[in-house]
Structure 1
Amino acid sequence: MLSAALKAAVQTVSRPFRAVLLKSLGLTVLLLILGWIGLQALADRMLVLPNETATWIAHLVAGLGTAFGLLFLVTPVTAIVAGFFLDDVAEIVERTHYPADAPGQPVPLVKGLFLSLRFAALVLSLNLLLLALLFIPGVNLIAWLGVNGYLLGREYFSLAAMRFRDEDGATALRRRHRGEVFAAGLLVATLAIVPFANLLTPLFATAFFVHLHKSIAAEDAKLLGTEGRTPRLGA
């Protein structure tokens, strides 16, 4: 897993990734700005107080709360962005590191975006529920990392695996290696809470899980005695 993470980190800032990196950063920043504007507009509509000073203080507190609220938008936003650039990133990784292997088949754009939007809605809902733990220091961070680590691992691994197998096959493979996938998801979730570095999350996580899927698929083939066979979509 660490080898896959190091390869992904190096590739994220490499020349072949440059065009995808700029597009990914641009879309991530745009979606976060739109999210911030939406949260701010909602706060402005709700904070109508009779006293001007109280209104000013309330808006100041709301502004700080909105900035904090962006933390809860980072994970679903990265899922949406990954849906756009998954195949571009995966093709570069496969061509660079696994030229002898059969290339994966692109996930249809509509299906990929549908899965990413569905995942984003799930993540946003669960993170809103986690707000109940906001004032319990330590517990809130552990709960946030645990939930998002599981969800990110599941989402990114499934997207990478579905280039080589159908959705049921990807799910079965993920479940057989759930511990490793969860640990990888925790790593991505940790990156998602680091300011500025979290803007690279969609690109890094996609490359990371492409490498991880390759490693897990090879390990799984040895365990099942199917080493040397090329996985097929729908099989």
Structure 2
Amino acid sequence: MFNIEVDVFPFFKTLASLPKAKLLGLLFFCAFVAVFIAIAFALGLGWLTDMLAYWDTAWLNTLSGWVTGLLGGVVAWFMLPTLVVLIAGVFQETVISRVEKIYYPDRQRTSPPQLWPDIVHDIRFTLRAILLNLLIVPFYFFGIGFFLSVALNSYLLGREFFESAAGYHLGKKQAQAFGREFRGPIYLGGLVITLATLVPGVNMITPVLAVVWMTHLYHFLCTREK
């Protein structure tokens, strides 16, 4: 019998890893990128609306721009789960390497971490995730869109982050096969990550938290398999 809080649900271990593995600098980087994306999306949508929709009355133009910008910010906020992988992909190997150096020194990979090693894959995943999230938008009108979004992104993010952590050692194909043996804990991790992206403030540092969480989960599941 294993300890679900510490092993399958490494909440406190993940938080403790941030200062121990010297990841606080990356947390600030994540926060900056997340805020930049949300602001850029809102401003871009407002600019596009100004270009396409023009009213004869000045105050209507101003109101339209503000409403569109506000809606754009809200949409960007709820679409943030689909962007987490793209943000995390830039430095995920650095995070994994630092965590393993502190917690799993005997299991470290010999080759040094790379900067954004799977950029093409991360972009494809993000585009696919955005498309899938857009497909469930109509369900928001029936009151179940939020729950479908959480369920969908829990699966997508859990699988993607776990395969990144496992793939750091095993490679993508073997990581996928390994992950299929532990769908429950991986989905649970994905659920935590998804919910974290919806919490103001926490969502800005979720990319780092997600990588750390799945790194701990991967190493625990390796011991379980043995």
State the TM bucket, normalised to the shorter chain.
Answer: 0.7 to 0.9
Shift in alpha-carbon separation, 1:14–1:37, aligned structure 2, 3 A: farther
Partner secondary structure for residue 170 of structure 2:
coil
Q: Does 1:39 align with 2:45?
A: yes
Q: Sort the Cα spacing of 1:27 and 1:135 in 2 relative to 1 into closer, same or farther, 3 A.
A: same
Secondary structure, in 3 states, of the residue corresponding to 1:100?
A: helix
Structure 2 counterpart of 1:73: 79
Cα contact 1:191–1:198 (8 A) shared by 2: yes
2:196 aligned residue? 191
Relative to 1, partners in 2 of residues 1:203 and 1:128: Cα closer, same or farther, differing over 3 Å? same
| Amino acid paired to 1:8 | T
**Post-superposition offset of 1:218:** 1.8
TM-score (norm 1): 0.84
How large is the Cα RMSD of the aligned pairs? 2.2
Aligned partner of 1:150 among 155, 174, 192 = 155
CA contact (8 A) 1:35 1:73 kept: no
Query: How far, CA to CA, are the matches of 2:74 and 2:172 in structure 1?
Result: 35
Normalised TM-score (structure 2): 0.87
* SS state at 1:16 partner: coil
Matches within 5 A, 1:149-188: 149-188=154-193
Deviating more after overlay: 62-71 vs 50-59: 50-59
Aligned residue among 185, 204, 223 for 1:218: 223
* Residue segments in structure 2 that go unaligned for 5+ positions in a row: none
1:90-110 Cα distance to aligned partner (Å, 9 max, x none): 111101111222436567546
Distance in structure 2 (CA, Å) of the matches to 1:159 and 1:107: 13
In 1, are the aligned partners of 2:97 and 2:108 still within 8 Å (CA)? no
1:24 aligns with 2:30: yes
Q: Verify the 8 A CA contact 1:192 1:198 in the aligned structure 2.
A: yes
1:78 counterpart letter in structure 2: V
Task: Check if 1:2 corresponds to 2:5.
Answer: yes
**Conserved 8 A contact 1:32-1:73:** no
Distance 2:78 2:136 in 1: 10
User: Which residue of the partner structure matches residue 130 of structure 2?
Assistant: 124
Map 1:102-113 to 2 at 5 A. Answer: 102-103=108-109, 105=111, 109=115, 111-113=117-119
- Structure 1 residues 191 and 104, CA, compared in 2 at 3 Å: closer, same or farther? farther
Gaps spanning 5+ residues in structure 1: where? Answer: 223-235
CA distance in 1 between counterparts of 2:112 and 2:38 reads: 27
1:87 aligns with 2:113: no
SS at match of 1:160: helix
Structure 1 position 175, deviation (Å): 1.2
Q: How many residues align?
A: 220
Q: How far, CA to CA, are the matches of 2:36 and 2:63 in structure 1?
A: 28
36-45 or 176-185: which moved more?
A: 36-45
- Kindly indicate whether the alpha-carbon contact (under 8 Å) linking 2:41 and 2:72 is maintained by their aligned counterparts in 1: no
Deviation at 1:185, TM superposition (A): 0.2
Render the CA deviation track for 1:51-87: whole Å, top value 9, x for unaligned: 4444344333322211211124312322111111111
